[in-house]
Chain A
Amino acid sequence: MSKLRVVHYINQFFANIGGEEKADYQPELREGVVGPGMAFNQNFGEEAEIVATVICGDSYFNENVDSATATVLDMIKSQKPDLVICGPAFNAGRYGVACGTVAAAVKKEGIPVITGMYKENPGADMFKKEVYIISTKNSAAGMRDAVSKMAPLALKVAKGEAIGASAEEGYLPNGIRKNFFEKKRGSERAVEMLVKKLNDKEFVTEYEMPSFDRVAPGEAIKDMSKAKIALVTSGGIVPKGNPDHIESSSASKYGQYDIEGVTDLTAETYETAHGGYDPVYANEDADRVLPVDIITEMIKEGKIGSLHKYYYATVGNGTAVANAKRFATEIGQKLVDDHVDAVILTST
């Protein structure tokens, strides 16, 4: 059987082109292995071989995400790979995001792919549910260890073999629970975990509790007919043309838009920037997500005092919790400063 064809994605640093000063390096396709690809080839043995390497500077990639992704993806596809490996990126943040972005794009094409990075790399949280990310050490000193875990998982993914639980294969937990047999029974694991906990040593829980933010409900509004209401949405409703370029997923920003005098959102004036759901109905009539028309009616009927002149919008699709919290804090403060009494928060 011939060897599986592998394409490797790395950044300018691992390609020995340069450090930060070369981070604007534009995508380049090279034949054969470059840098850490050697280690992968050794690990693959007779089963697979890196036929080409795609190199891109981290700054260039992150500042031109859409075009860089498209270019890199084209370069990768031109090699007709059976498997793609991105990184590992260790704790390099922009490299991690690039590896995750490329891997996710490759996966969408139906090409087997994995990447690797440190668990605290921002790219890890962004992409661990989309692609297999091998958990690596936090610096390139962990290269040998990373390759020894990435290569076997990559081959399994490429061959379509059954993938074990995260603890067995070494990938970051991706929210999919999978059974496997531990070496020790549960009670013994519990005693060991307790002894570690008692001695203030690090222990790893086998199930991470979902954490819910607890928000105390506000006081009820006594008289709505005098209240100033604001609209805030994570449903991505933006003025036509999306002037702030809010991303269709993993939004990094929100927009503030003046709707003074607007009584109805129309297909000509507003649209949604939100990906991940069928936008037809939102684009046809954005009031379906941001109910400006109904509020206007209710104001006329005297049921509601007034509508705040600005509304705020972002996209809730895969947006990092940390970003969402930051948006909320900033928007909340602005609403307080503008003496808004209540907010209607809508999603998709």
Chain B
Amino acid sequence: MYRIITNNPMCLVKYGDQVQIEYLEGKGYMDVLLTVRDYIQKKWCLETHPMTGSLKPNQTPYKSVMISDRPVDKEEFYNQEITIENGIMTCRKFQSIRKTPDWPENLLEDFQAVDLSLIEGAIQKIL
């Protein structure tokens, strides 16, 4: 079973009826990462990298991450835990430099489109 953790409305609209989506309405990039970490610590498996895209964590407000309930061994769990922790640390670092701006609506849509495209590559593989 696959699940997308996202705060990107465009992702919900496009794939909401094809994939399980946990939609974090109105939440931030960091909230998505923290939610994903909770899943990993409950033995879920990280399918896409939490730091997808070259947009900085204080630049884009959106993040979509795919996880699954595929069983992971200790080694994989360790690697995934490190990957998400590094992601959270990086996000915190950028937020401490400067908070994500309050972007106007047209820019938000652009950020949604890029985030959607990044996760789409992974979604296409499981449909």
Interface residues of A (CB under 8 A from B): 212, 214, 216
Contacts and interface: CB of A to CB of B under 8 A. Distances in A.
Interface string B50-85: 000000000000000000000000100010001000
3 contacts: A212-B82, A214-B78, A216-B74
A216 B74 CA distance: 9
A207 to B, nearest CB: 16
Contacts of B78: 214
Interface of B: 74, 78, 82
A196 B48 CA distance: 37
Contacts of B82: 212
Nearest to B82: A212
Nearest to A216: B74
Nearest to A217: B74
B85 to A, nearest CB: 10
A148 to B, nearest CB: 38
B120 to A, nearest CB: 33
3 cross-chain pairs, A with B, having the tightest CB-CB distances, nearest first: A214-B78, A216-B74, A212-B82
B68 to A, nearest CB: 22
A255 to B, nearest CB: 31
A15 to B, nearest CB: 47
B115 to A, nearest CB: 29
A216 B78 CA distance: 9
Contacts of A212: 82
A229 to B, nearest CB: 22
Contacts of A216: 74
Contacts of B74: 216
Nearest to B78: A214
A221 B78 CA distance: 20
Nearest to A212: B82
A214 B75 CA distance: 11
A212 B78 CA distance: 12
A216 B73 CA distance: 13
A212 B81 CA distance: 13
A22 B107 CA distance: 72
A214 B78 CA distance: 9
B80 to A, nearest CB: 14
B42 to A, nearest CB: 14
